[in-house]
Amino acid sequence: MWTVDIDVGGTLTDGIFTSGEEIFCVKVDTTPHDLTVCLFDCLSRGAAKLDFPGTNEFLENVELIRWSTTITSNVLAESRGPRIGLLVSQGHQKDLYGQEPRSSVLNRLISEQDVIGVNDSAGEPEIMNAARKLLESGVRRICVSLEGSHRDPRREIAVKRIIDQQYPDHFLGSVPVLAGSDISKSAEDQTRTYSALINTYTHGALAATLFKAEDDLRQSAGYTGTFLVSHINGGVAGIAKTKAIDTIESGPILGIHASAYLAKAYGFNDVISMDIGGTTAKISVLLNGEPIYRRPSDFFGIPVAISLPDLHSIALGGGSVVKPLPNAEKASVQLGPESMGSFPGPACYGLGGDQPTLTDAFVAAGLINPDYFLGGAKTIDLELARKVIAESVARPLNLTIEEACRIVLDRAFESVANMIVSTEKGLNRDWSKSILFAYGGNGSLFACGVAEKAGLNRVQLFSLGPVFSAFGSSVSDISHLYEGSLAGVAISDVGLIRIRQMIEEMKAEGVKDLLGEGIRPDGISYAYEMDVSRNGHSSISVPCSESSLRSEKDLQAALAKALGNPGGAPDGPISLELIRVSVKKGMPKPRLVERPLQGPDSSHARKGTRKVLWGSSKGEAQIYNWEALRPGNRVSGCAVLEDVNSTYFIPEGWEMIMDRFGNGSLSRVSPKV
């Protein structure tokens, strides 16, 4: 039986098909008007590659599909969600419980006029007047987030019930109402409010697509296996147990977890992972093979007090528009933030794109073979690429095409390298001996150029790099997260009885949810975490073990250690705020296959030479077939390695050895010429 993992990117949609040691991957264009189209395009391409007569016949042999989408991220980033209303405690209409006098989400996620304050004593007439005012102004969804509801959500739930009773869902005038405590149990009112707003803002678009995808899979294609959606915690879950906020940036985070998976396989400690696709470049770091988490985090600039892998992004990718800057002190260009996306795409696609992009520069510079782009599946026009670079970049800057391409590529590599350097400074750590993991559709073209400018000397390229987030999905497990408020629970033996009771209730809910997804609940693992605050400061997350919850003394010792006072009591009064239980169930994963190392000779994989405008003092690169290289083979730059799904570039001064897993280990052997 086969397992399918599909990751929808801004430009291309990636699929990985695995069965034991067999692994195949495909790429298709993302269809932003309807993401179920590229889902089925991916399945159809995979079925054809595996010699099935059709998609339906292939799905009869699929036991699991895991899908990560950009829907919620796109809705939030592009501010194209529905008009929503918000009921808050009186006096917090402007600050939304934050420290600033005016919340940053006002007139972004929600119009200022659509926030109404209500008193604690407000009865049904006042609540209905507020709801009616919001609905008459055009609001289509309502959030209720009242101060202190993590301690007692009954007031929020009562307000929600009043509105639901007046606007039941069988009437055309019904309106979805969401309580903040339904989405987050955070002790921070602002985080709970923002989480509810983000979820409400993105829910409709995600729900419509997921339900359509599942309906099409079940009813039209006859799929009877399991269909799961990727979450930001690096796991997957069924549609019924997925909130919209769970899926934001899930694709890039899957790439981080894939990096951690491979770092452990290689025994690497400090890793900088670089994900560059068609629209964005993302940087994250791994310490001792594990992602570094940050708290508070943010979703596209909206702060939330939850822990997420440290991920930094800029709007830079293959589709980024190149703009000349003729008034600069020296010839320069701006890359992005606008992107031509998958349609009309770069000018070289020949689909009507009339603006120069980074992909056009790569093609004009000879780094991408126009006759073998995505294995020849997509037509690329070299002359259109050269023409748009000449007319829109070289001419305004009074440069040759060659000079313009070099400036564009240098600017692209420098932009990502600067992001790495700033991340290093923010972490106050020397990462110069780290290994750069490069992946994504364009990561292997950027790798060495970025490494040189960031002062790194080792790079790792991957056979599955072009579909790396889909690979992260393929090694993910089912994961459900449950939260319970600890407001009013003391650090005492009596309090611990209540905590253990809450944990057992959440574990039981996890088993029930797994059964509801058609998953056998055997082999489950659990992880526990508490949010605590000290001396009234912001809360921190403290991992807990079973042993730390046996007695008051054990819990005190665990908290003291986590708070920086090992061997003693916590420094100052501790307030317990939240208990979090993670329920994880292992799922099928592809096996990494080690192959014996052979000799260094790579001449059998050489295809010829090609003129290039970057990375070679001679202006020429050796061309290799990536798939023909064997473990132990060596390739020295300048070289272009072509694969059916990607292009790998090695400039002068770098050498690559194909390793035992069929991936490329690169080292800088001399300064760049």
Rounded Cα–Cα distance for residues 275 and 229 (Å): 21
Rounded Cα–Cα distance for residues 404 and 410 (Å): 10
SS3 85: strand
SS3 129: helix
Rounded Cα–Cα distance for residues 592 and 661 (Å): 7
- pLDDT at residue number 228: 92
Phi, psi of 564 (to 5 degrees): 90, 20
Residue 482's H or E segment, with its range, is strand 478-485
Rounded Cα–Cα distance for residues 395 and 414 (Å): 23
Could you tell me how many residues make up the chain?
Answer: 673
- pLDDT at residue number 173: 67
- pLDDT at residue number 96: 96
Asked whether the beta carbons of 59 and 53 are under 8 A apart, the reply is: no
| Domains of the chain from N-terminus onward | 77-206 (3.40.1360), 250-317+412-474 (3.30.420.40), 333-397 (no CATH), 478-585 (3.30.1490), 605-668 (no CATH)
* Residue with the two structure tokens 């005038």: 173
Asked whether the beta carbons of 305 and 381 are under 8 A apart, the reply is: no
Asked whether the beta carbons of 361 and 411 are under 8 A apart, the reply is: no
- pLDDT at residue number 671: 52
Asked whether the beta carbons of 274 and 436 are under 8 A apart, the reply is: yes
Closest alpha carbon to 363 in 650, 617, 649 = 649
Specify the pTM.
0.85
Residue 411's H or E segment, with its range, is helix 401-427
Question: CA separation (Å) from 635 to 462, 535, 606, 639?
Answer: 15, 59, 10, 7
Largest CA distance in the chain: 82
Closest alpha carbon to 646 in 462, 406, 473 = 462
* Residue with the two structure tokens 């390695």: 641
Other C-beta atoms closer than 10 Å to the C-beta of 366 total: 23
- pLDDT at residue number 538: 66
Give the angle 372-377-378 at the CA atoms, nearest 5°: 80
Torsion 162-163-166-168 (CA) sign? negative
Asked whether the beta carbons of 42 and 48 are under 8 A apart, the reply is: no
- Per the omega criterion (within 30 degrees of 0), is the bond before 344 cis? yes
CB neighbour class for 565 (10 Å; exposed up to 12, middle 13-18, buried from 19): middle
- pLDDT at residue number 567: 58
Closest alpha carbon to 206 in 76, 105, 305 = 76
SS3 419: helix
The tens digit of pLDDT for each residue in 234-293 reads: 889 888 889 999 998 888 899 999 999 999 999 999 999 999 988 889 999 999 999 988
DSSP 590: P
Rounded Cα–Cα distance for residues 19 and 291 (Å): 28
Closest alpha carbon to 640 in 405, 366, 361, 382 = 366
Asked whether the beta carbons of 632 and 597 are under 8 A apart, the reply is: yes
Rounded Cα–Cα distance for residues 311 and 283 (Å): 6
Torsion 635-359-419-402 (CA) sign? positive
CB neighbour class for 568 (10 Å; exposed up to 12, middle 13-18, buried from 19): exposed
* Interior/surface letters 15-51, b for 16+ CB within 10 angstroms, e for the rest: bbbbbeeebebbbbbbbbeebbbbbbbbbbbbbeeee
Question: CA separation (Å) from 573 to 155, 204, 283, 487?
Answer: 29, 43, 38, 14
For the chain (length 673 residues), average pLDDT per consecutive 10?
Answer: 90 88 87 90 94 95 91 82 94 94 92 94 92 92 93 91 84 82 88 93 92 94 93 88 89 92 94 90 92 80 81 88 85 88 86 93 95 81 96 94 95 95 80 91 95 95 93 90 86 90 92 86 89 73 85 84 65 79 86 90 96 94 96 96 93 96 92 47
Closest alpha carbon to 415 in 274, 286, 298 = 274
* Residue with the two structure tokens 């611990």: 496
SS3 612: coil
Question: CA separation (Å) from 490 to 247, 487, 548, 571?
Answer: 34, 8, 15, 16
Closest alpha carbon to 176 in 196, 192, 155 = 196
- Per the omega criterion (within 30 degrees of 0), is the bond before 153 cis? no
Percent helix, strand, coil in the chain, to 5, is 35, 25, 40
Compute the CA torsion angle 190, 195, 200, 205 (nearest 10 deg).
150
Transcribe 195-251 into DSSP letters: HHHHHHHHHHHHHHHHHHHHHIIIIIS---SEEEEE-TTS-EEEGGG--GGGGTTHH
SS3 51: coil
Quote the tokens at residue 410: 């240098």
Asked whether the beta carbons of 366 and 621 are under 8 A apart, the reply is: yes
Torsion 374-377-382-384 (CA) sign? negative
Question: CA separation (Å) from 443 to 43, 197, 402, 480, 654?
Answer: 25, 34, 22, 31, 16
